[in-house]
Amino acid sequence: MIIDIEKWGNPEKKIKILLVDDRPENLLALESILSSPDFHLISVNSGEEALKQVLLDEIAVILLDVQMPGMDGFETARLIKSREKSKQIPIIFLTAISQALEHVKEGYHAGAIDYIFKPFHPETLKMKIEAFIKIYQYQEQIKLQNEVLKVTGETLVDTLVTLDETGKMLTINPAIIKMFGYTVEELIDQPIDLIVPDLTGYLSEPKNIGKIIETFAFRKNMNSFPADIQIGEAKIEGKRVYICSIRDVTKRKLIEEERFRKIFEATPCLVSLQSVKDWSYINVNKSWLTHSGYNHYDEVINHSSESLKYIFHSEDSSETIVETKDLLHPVQSSRIKYLNKSGELREGLLSTEFMDIHGEDCVLSVITDITDRVLVENEMARLDRLNLVGEMASGIVHEVRNPMTTIRGFLQMSKDFPSAEFIDIMIEELDRAHSIITEFLSVSKMDSSARIWKDLNEIINNLFPLIQAKAMYADHYVHLDLDNCPVLEINEREIRQLILNLTMNGLDAMTSGGRLTIKTYQQDNEVVLAIQDEGNGIKQEIIDKIGTPFFSTKKNGTGLGLSICKKIVSEHNAAIKIKTSNEGTTFFVHFTIQESREDMLI
C-alpha cells in the first residue's frame, strides 16, 4: 500500500472551501468575507456544479444555499452525503427563507451540521468556518495516522501484538501468520504465553518496559526460535494496554554464532566451552589442543575427565589446585599455572564467563598463555642484574684497590718495623674489601628467595658500601636519613635490586659533586623509601615512558632497570611515585605495612 503524502500533511496546500449560491452577488460577498491566503475558495452557482466539484477536489467545508432553481440545497446535500468519498464533508446551509423548526429539521436530515440565516454577521460566519477548518485538519491528521498504522501493521515483518493487563492478546498484525504459523483468529483472546512462554510475568515489572528482552518463542508446530521482545505501555480509558513487538532473530544469531566460531578458532588463547550439567567439554579450539598436549578433538569433546587443572597462588604463598567446576563465580585475568598432558607446567591468565547457549548452561574459559612472556621477563631481570653489575664494577675495583694498596704499604713497613697496630689496620682493610666484594657478588645471584620479614634499613645499610663505592668513584656524596620503621614481608633479593637500580640511576643523573639522599620513614600505614638526587630533573614526556623496557635516555642504557623496578614494586603490592623539578628528582616507593605472623598469633 502507498500513502499519498500530497493528500495529507502538506502545509503549503491551501484549504479548499466550496461556496454554492445561484446569485453572483451572494458569492462575491462570501468571497470577500472569507478571503485568506490559507484558503482556496471555489464558487459555483448550482447544485449540479457543486456535485462535480466535490468529485474533483478535496473539500474541507461547503457553504450551501438552500433555495436554488433546479436542484435545491436539500437535495444537493443528500447526494453529497450519499457518496462514500464526500459524506464526511461538513455542510453549512445559508438561507433567507423560513426559520421554522420543521424547515430547519429538514436541513439537518439532509446532512447539514449548521444553519446560518441571512442576513448573517460576517465575523460570526468567519469564526464558524475557521472552527470547521480546524476540525477538518484534525480529521485529516487522524486519517494519516490511521493509514500509517495500517500500512505499518500490514508491512511490518515483526509481529505486533496488543495485550490487556492479564496478557491476553487483543489485536495482532498479519506478520503472525508467517512468523508463527497461526492465523490472527486463532490467537485473539489467547494468552501471550502461548507463543512466548512466561512473557506475562514481564508485564508487571516497570523496568522491562521499553527494554529489549532476549528469549525464545514457539511456533504452532512447537519449534522454537530466538526472539527479541520489546514491550510498550499505554492507557486507554483508564485501562492499561501493552504493545508487544516480537522479532525473529534467527539469522542474526546464526551470524553471531559464525562470527564467534571464527574468533573461537582463530584466537591464540586457549578457549573451551563446558556444560555446567556434567562439566563435559562441548568444544575447544586448536590452541587449547596444542597447549594442553592433546592431538585430536575426540579425546576431549564430550569428556569431563580431561578437564584442565589450574594452580592458583594464595596470599600466603600457598598453592591451590582447582578445576572449572570449583569456580563458583566468574574470574577475570587470574594468574594461574596449568599442567598439560605432557607433564609441562605452563603459566597463564584465566578468565571465565557463565552463559546460556541454546537453553543449556555453559561456562566459557579463556586462558592467555604467558609462559613465553614469563621466560622473557626472567631473562630481562637477569640481563638487568648483569647490567647493574657492570655499572658498579669500575667503582668497586677502585674501592677495593684502596685497601689493597694500604695493606701492601703496611706489609712493606712491617719488614723493618713489626707492629701489632699495623696488623690491626691490615685486618680492618681486608674486612672492608671483603664486605664490598660480598655485597657485589650477592647482586648477581640468580636464585629467588621466598619472602621474609625484614627491616628495610638493614638492607640499605648492608648495601651502603657498594653505593658509596660507586658514588666516590664519580665524585658524589651519599647521605642516609633512616627512621625506625616496621619490618616488611619482602623478597630481600628483589628489594636489594630495587634499591641499587634507583640509586645507580640517581648517581648517573648528577654532575660531579652531587649528593644522593636515601631516606626511609613511616607515613600512616606505609613505609616509604625515598631516593633523591640533585640532577636536572626529568621531562614530562620522558616520565610517561619511564619503566618501558629498552627505553633509556642513557647513551648505552638498556631501559631495563626501571622496568624491573616497576615489576618488583607491583609484586610487593607497593606503589612508586616520582617528584621532579630542575633541582632534582625523588623516587618514592610506598610499602603497605602488614601484620607479621607473630603479631597475628598474639
What is the helix (H) or strand (E) element at residue 92, kind and residue range? Answer: strand 91-95
Mean of pLDDT values over 419-445:
59
Is the pLDDT at 77 greater than 60? The verdict is yes
Q: Are 65 and 26 in contact (CB under 8 A)?
A: yes
Q: Which cell numbers hold the place of 585?
A: 628528582
DSSP assignment string, 175-219: HHHHHHS--HHHHTTSBGGGTSTT-HHHHT-GGGBT-EEEEEEE-
pLDDT at residue 558, rounded to an integer: 40
Domains along the chain with CATH numbers: 15-152 (3.40.50.2300), 156-248 (3.30.450.20), 257-369 (3.30.450.20), 374-597 (3.30.565.10)
Q: From its phi and psi, is residue 493 left (phi > 0), alpha (psi between -120 and 50) or beta?
A: alpha
The confidence score (pLDDT) of residue 307 equals 73
Over residues 221-235, mean pLDDT: 88
pLDDT at 392: 56
Confidence of residue 599 (pLDDT cuts 50, 70, 90): very low
Contact 89, 61 (CB under 8 A): yes
Where would I find the H helices in 417-525? 420-443, 456-473, 492-508
- Name the average pLDDT for the chain: 78
pTM of structure: 0.39
For 288-320, the pLDDT digits (tens) are 888 888 888 888 888 877 777 888 866 555 678
Is pLDDT at 522 greater than 90 in this prediction?
yes
pLDDT in the model for residue 600:
36
Span 160-174, average pLDDT: 88
Dist CA 31 CA 18 (whole Å): 10
Q: Out of 176-185, 326-335, 523-532, which region has the weakest mean confidence (pLDDT)?
A: 326-335
Cβ atoms < 10 Å from Cβ of 418:
9
Q: Residue 402 above 60 pLDDT?
A: no
* Grid cell for residue 522: 613511616
Measured at the CA of 567, the angle between CA 562 and CA 573, to 5 degrees, comes to: 125
- Identity at 171, one-letter amino acid code: T
Q: Coil, strand, or helix at residue 153?
A: helix
Q: If you average pLDDT over residues 544-570, what whole number do you get? A: 59
Ordered DSSP codes for 299-344: GTBT-STT---EEEEPTTS-EEEE-GGG--S---SEEEEEE-TTS-
SS in 3 state form for 422-439? Answer: HHHHHHHHHHHHHHHHHH
- What count of other Cβ atoms lies within 10 Å of the Cβ of residue 149? 12
Q: Say if residue 497's pLDDT is above 70.
A: yes
> What was the pLDDT predicted at 548?
47
3-state secondary structure 1-63: CCCCCCCCCCCCCCEEEEEECCCHHHHHHHHHHHCCCCEEEEEECCHHHHHHHHHHCCCCEEE
More confident residue, 154 or 2: 154
Residue-level pLDDT at 125: 81
Percent of the chain scored above 70 by pLDDT? 75
3-state secondary structure 523-560: ECCEEEEEEECCCCCCCHHHHCCCCCCCCCCCCCCCCC
119 cis-preceded (ω within 30 degrees of 0): yes
Instruction: For residue 251, name the pLDDT band (cuts at 50, 70, 90).
Output: confident
Q: Which residues pair with 136 in a beta bridge?
A: none
Assess whether pLDDT exceeds 90 at residue 261.
no
Minimal CA–CA distance to 34: which of 126, 110, 103?
126
**Is the confidence at residue 590, as pLDDT, over 90?**
yes
> What number of helices (H) and strands (E) belong to the chain?
17, 24
Write phi, then psi, for 229 (nearest 5 degrees): -110, 135
